[in-house]
Amino acid sequence: MKKETDWKKIRKDFPVTDNLAFFQSAGMSPLPMPVYETVCDKYSKLCRYGDISWEEDAESIRKFYDTLGRIINTGGENITFLPNTSVALSLVALSLKKAFGKKFNIITMYDEFPATNVPFEGQDIKIRYVKPLPDNRYPVDHIIDSVDENTKAIITSYVNYSSGFRQDLETLGKKAKEKGLLFIVNATQGFPVFPVDVKKMSVDVMAASLHKWGCAGHVGSLFFTTPNYRKQFPAPITGWLSVLPPDYDFIPVQKNEKFKQYETARQYEFGTMNHQVLLGAKTAFEYMNNIGFKKIRERIMEITGYMTEELSKLPVEIKSPLANKKERTGIVSIDIPGYCNQAMALYLKDKGVFAAIRNQNIRLSVNFFNDRSDVDRLIKVLREYLAG
């Protein structure tokens, strides 16, 4: 007999629900209690015993990489963590510039979150921006039409941070490969709620910050690269942990010798990392995996569906694409014609409903700890405001 998921019990794991109707997971999700407890425990041990468990923790993190690899259909040796997505894509930008010089361009979307495009702009790499259709969608053929003879890569978000549009990565990745292009994905607003298969999707590079839908706090950005990518575009900088040590020592103490980078994703591990928060992220994924990522996704879409039904009864414009279910996510952006959205967002906050302003619209993002009572609270406050 299929076991029913106890969403009320799960909701209690998120104390934020005692205080707010929280619709800002697309900015940063609150922590579930098991993650909070893990991080507190790890810092407590560091306080009381120092770093005597460093090697044990490092091994646990390697196993966490293996777990993440299984989730996205790759090996753990192709995964590491970097401080954030901007750092990850800056490394990519440096590598592409070193390999191709100046006579090339990349393609990305006009309304990407700046972490996607600024690293390339910062290296003076030419970007051909694809503008969305009037319904805020980016059909695959619409993107491919922008490719020219100097294009080397397509860079896209899995889910647009403002509209919530979800890209068909499998089709776009296939088209990119047909054109001989690198396919680079910022999965921050999609992973791990929406499935990623880096092989089926032909992904060469993927970055995903996990403080949003990963429920892990500011742990940094998961960074995936294929072996072929690393061979053609090795890490453009080095650090003491990213290069092989000599046979006679466990750290790279050699001098005036050419360093050899690790062939695995360890070549991006330039120095020590915060084991305590990474182990918190490990707990976050164990927690979500115990619920089931499919169930989490279905729950988010159920509550989002209820939200859009209720919003459609109000004089608001829903800016997120809704026609195709495969393009929907937990992000719903709205505009209130004749009113100031910024003022509305502040009013919502004063009433204990937390949303965000993105692209001048009110962005509402639903997570699996939300329920219909949160939506009802949102709708009630909107009605009050609109009634004057």
- Report how far residue 183's alpha carbon sits from residue 290's, in angstroms, rounded to the nearest whole number: 31
Compute the average pLDDT of residues 99-122: 96
Are residues 154 and 108 in contact, defined by beta-carbon separation less than 8 angstroms?
yes
The predicted-structure confidence for 25-59, as pLDDT tens digits, reads as follows 999 999 999 999 999 999 999 999 999 999 999 99
DSSP string, 63-96: HHHHHHHHHHTS-GGGEEEES-HHHHHHHHHHHH
Sign, CA dihedral 64-65-66-72, equals positive
Which three-class secondary structure state does DSSP give residue 280?
helix
Residue 1: per-residue pLDDT: 56
The predicted-structure confidence for 118-164, as pLDDT tens digits, reads as follows 999 999 999 999 999 999 999 999 999 999 999 999 999 999 999 99
Cis peptide leading into residue 246 (ω within 30°): no
Compute the average pLDDT of residues 184-202: 98
Domain at 7-23+292-386: CATH architecture: Alpha-Beta Complex (3.90)
Please, which pLDDT band fits residue 2 given cuts at 50, 70 and 90? Answer: low
Are residues 178 and 172 in contact, defined by beta-carbon separation less than 8 angstroms?
no
Q: What's the whole-number average pLDDT of the chain?
A: 97
The predicted-structure confidence for 310-325, as pLDDT tens digits, reads as follows 999 999 999 999 999 9
Q: Which amino acid is at 92?
A: V
Q: Where in the chain is the domain with CATH 3.90.1150.10?
A: 7-23+292-386
Please, which pLDDT band fits residue 373 given cuts at 50, 70 and 90? Answer: very high
Joined together, the tokens standing for residue 295 give 């169930």
Please identify which residue in the block is written with the tokens 């929280």: 22
Sign, CA dihedral 256-257-258-264, equals negative
- Report how far residue 215's alpha carbon sits from residue 31's, in angstroms, rounded to the nearest whole number: 6
Query: Residues 6 or more apart from 67 whose CB is under 8 A from it?
Result: 76, 282, 285
The predicted-structure confidence for 282-297, as pLDDT tens digits, reads as follows 999 999 999 999 999 9
Residue 3: per-residue pLDDT: 76
The predicted-structure confidence for 240-280, as pLDDT tens digits, reads as follows 999 999 989 989 999 999 999 999 999 999 999 999 999 99
Compute the average pLDDT of residues 80-91: 98
Compute the average pLDDT of residues 342-351: 96
| Correct CATH for 39-287 of 3.40.50.150, 1.10.260.40, 3.40.640.10, 3.40.50.720 | 3.40.640.10
> Whole-model pTM?
0.96
Query: Residues 6 or more apart from 245 whose CB is under 8 A from it?
Result: 251, 252, 253, 254
DSSP string, 294-323: HHHHHHHHHHHHHHHHHHTTSS-EE-S--S
Q: Where in the chain is the domain with CATH 3.40.640.10?
A: 39-287
Residue 102: per-residue pLDDT: 87
- Report how far residue 283's alpha carbon sits from residue 31's, in angstroms, rounded to the nearest whole number: 11
- Report how far residue 217's alpha carbon sits from residue 85's, in angstroms, rounded to the nearest whole number: 14
Residue 246: per-residue pLDDT: 92
Query: Residues 6 or more apart from 211 whose CB is under 8 A from it?
Result: 28, 29, 217, 218, 219
